[in-house]
Amino acid sequence: MKVKLFYFAKIREAIGVDREELDLANDIKTVSDLIEVLKGRGSHWQDMFSMSSSFRMAVNQEMVEATHKISTNDEVAFFPPIAFFPPITGG
Amino acid sequence: MSVHLQEKLFDLQSITQTLKKLHNSGASVTFEGYVRDFDLENENLDALELEHYPGMTEKALLEIENLAIKRWHLDDVYIVHRHGKLNVGEPIVGIIVFAKHRKEAFEACHFIIDFLKTDAPFWKKEITNQKSYWVEAKKLDDEEKKKWN
């Protein structure tokens, strides 16, 4: 199963990758399974994906939970929690 | 109804004048946010680096416009948001709402900026003359959003 992966902001910088395509094994069914694969790459990957509070994910540009099932040709993105807060734009 | 993601500066007044010709509105309300030189924890910021998720950002902003249009009777909604490196004092986000009456226009504009800050995939790096760092998400914005429930 082929998927496109995108990484943004702090995560992108930490792992040094902004996008990639992966051909996943048949036993990878959910985003959670995919995260385990990424953590297996070690060092920065392990650091970035160990704490569920430090990242969010989207499949085909919709925010999802880690239990979300992935399908072939899905676009999966990982990024930090969305970061605006009032003092920035005078709001 | 439209959303615009761009690196370049925008001129909200001229956009408002252009859109005004398309509608028989009784009111427009515009919000323009600027890059400040301070935030809650730091002073003397020089610039922001704003990263977003192309495609998802446009979808998220259109969804916010749709929520506003379902809630209020509006003639038009326009959102422009910049990304990339933004210097202190420059505009970062602009919202224009056209409606028959001021109440709808004011409320919808306020609603849109509150939702934009929690639901759109932007990440902000602050740059001072000493360092640069990613800003962590804060809970404050969710409080702003809850008042619309």
Tokens standing for A28? 């990878």
Query: Would you state the pLDDT for residue A87?
Result: 34
Query: Would you state the pLDDT for residue B42?
Result: 63
Residue B146 is assigned to a structural domain of this protein: no
The number of domains in chain B is 1
Please state the rounded mean pLDDT for residues B27-39: 89
**Average pLDDT of every residue of chain B:** 90
Dihedral sign from CA coordinates of A81, B38, A91, B79:
negative
Tell me the shortest Cα–Cα distance from B73 to chain A, in angstroms. 23
Residue B140 is assigned to a structural domain of this protein: no
Q: What is the CA radius of gyration of chain B?
A: 16
Rounded to 5 degrees, φ, ψ at B34 are -120, 160
CATH of A2-81, one of 3.10.20.30, 3.40.920.10, 1.10.287.1770, 3.30.1020.10: 3.10.20.30
> For chain A, which residues make up each domain, given as ranges?
2-81
Residue B105 is assigned to a structural domain of this protein: yes
Round to the nearest angstrom and report the end-to-end CA distance of chain B.
23
| A27–chain B Cβ distance below 8 A for any pair | no
Alpha carbon separation from A80 to A9, A20, B58, B74, B126 (Å, rounded): 7, 18, 18, 34, 15
Q: What is the pLDDT of residues B113-137, one digit of tens each?
A: 988 887 788 999 988 888 888 987 7
Please state the rounded mean pLDDT for residues B26-32: 98
Q: Which of A65-74, B35-44, B81-90 has the lowest mean pLDDT?
A: B35-44
Residues A32 and A53: their CA atoms lie apart, in Å, by 14
CB contact residues (below 8 A), chain B span 29-48, against chain A? 31, 33-36, 38-40, 48
Percent of chain B surpassing pLDDT 70: 91
Query: Would you state the pLDDT for residue B130?
Result: 84
* pLDDT of chain A, 91 residues: tens digit per residue: 999 999 999 999 999 999 999 999 999 999 999 999 999 998 899 999 998 888 999 999 998 999 999 999 999 999 998 855 333 344 3
Tell me the shortest Cα–Cα distance from B144 to chain A, in angstroms. 9
Rounded to 5 degrees, φ, ψ at B39 are -135, -160
Query: Would you state the pLDDT for residue B140?
Result: 56
Please state the rounded mean pLDDT for residues B41-58: 87
Residue B142 is assigned to a structural domain of this protein: no
Which of A61, A83, A91 lies nearest to residue B122, judging by beta carbons?
A: A83
Task: Please answer whether residues A84 and B114 qualify as being in contact, where contact means their C-beta atoms are separated by less than 8 angstroms.
Answer: no
CATH number (domain holding residue B15):
3.90.1170.40
Tokens standing for A65? 């939970």
Q: What is the pLDDT of residues B4-15, one digit of tens each?
A: 999 999 999 999
Residues B137 and B3: their CA atoms lie apart, in Å, by 23
Q: Which domain holds residue B34?
A: 2-135
Query: Would you state the pLDDT for residue B141?
Result: 58
Residues B52 and B124: their CA atoms lie apart, in Å, by 9
Q: Which of A76-85, B37-46, B87-96 has the lowest mean pLDDT?
A: B37-46
Best probe of the A interface among B29, B41, B53, B126, by most A CBs < 10 A, is: B53
Q: Is B75 helix (H, G, I), strand (E, B) or coil?
A: strand
Per-range mean pLDDT, top range of B43-52, B83-92, B113-122, B126-135: B83-92
Collect all residues with Cβ–Cβ distance below 8 Å to A41 and sequence separation of at least 6: none
Residue B56 is assigned to a structural domain of this protein: yes
Instruction: Provide the 10 A C-beta neighbour count for residue A54.
Output: 15
Residue B71 is assigned to a structural domain of this protein: yes
Query: Would you state the pLDDT for residue B39?
Result: 65
Residue from A35, A30, A31 nearest A15 by CA: A35
